[in-house]
Amino acid sequence: MHIIAQINNINFGFVTLKLQLVTAQRKGEVVGAEWDEFDFKNARWTIPASKAKNGNNNIVPLSELALELLQELKTLSNGSKWLLPSPRGDKHIIPTAIDRALRNNINKFKDVKPFTPHDLRRTAASHMTALGVSRLVVSKLLNHVENSVTAIYDRHSYDKEKRAAVDAWSEKLKEITFSKVRVSE
């Protein structure tokens, strides 16, 4: 499915789905993001431990595609501290709003089987490993906890490796978008 080519509506729900696919981060982390978590100069997003599912900070490198999406969201957020502000006050939209937007609009896309926002994270991870990115690096990017003895001793940040992974994934997404090749199911 050439989903990115079809998700071109400028609204929070669809831009959020694109950002999830491009960054491989959790819906709740994207929805709950604040602008001060983003370092545009160094092209990275620091998800604080308090917002991460596993309770660990996660430094997410931002590709060109991610930065473009963030610029769209910056325009849409009208000066709010939230990446995705709620129309009902100074808080972010609720994560289920993304599910609802997807469910209510999935029929507008041609040849797209129903999917969930979490499927986009899985798609990103699968494509990165297919591109030759090691599972360890993908795991670090996804902010999964590694429960091995080696993990206790390995204090490497994997920042360079994560950057290479998101850049390779971004290039693949551009290829998919422009060639209209189907994203794996």
7-32 per-position pLDDT tens digit:
433 466 788 889 999 999 999 999 99
Q: Look at residue 156 in the predicted model and tell me its pLDDT.
A: 85
**pLDDT of 141 higher than 70:** yes
Q: Look at residue 107 in the predicted model and tell me its pLDDT.
A: 80
**pLDDT of 184 higher than 70:** no
Task: Name which residue leads in pLDDT, 47 or 53.
Answer: 47
| pLDDT band at 3; cut points 50, 70, 90 | very low
CB 15 within 8 A of CB 114: no
Backbone φ, ψ for residue 94 (5° rounding)? -85, 145
What domains does the chain contain, in order, with CATH numbers?
3-179 (1.10.443.10)
Q: Look at residue 45 in the predicted model and tell me its pLDDT.
A: 98
For the chain, the first-to-last Cα distance in angstroms comes to: 8
Residue at 127: amino acid letter: H
CB 57 within 8 A of CB 49: yes
Half-sphere exposure of residue 23, counting CA atoms within 13 Å on the CB side? 32
Closest CA to 63 of 6, 124, 1: 124
Half-sphere exposure of residue 153, counting CA atoms within 13 Å on the CB side? 3
**pLDDT of 41 higher than 80:** yes
Backbone φ, ψ for residue 38 (5° rounding)? -100, 130
Mean pLDDT of the chain: 86
94-103 average pLDDT score? 85
Any idea which of 30-39, 99-108, 126-135 has the lowest mean pLDDT? 99-108
Strand partners, 59: 46
102-117 per-position pLDDT tens digit:
888 888 777 888 888 8
DSSP state of 65: H
CB 93 within 8 A of CB 12: yes
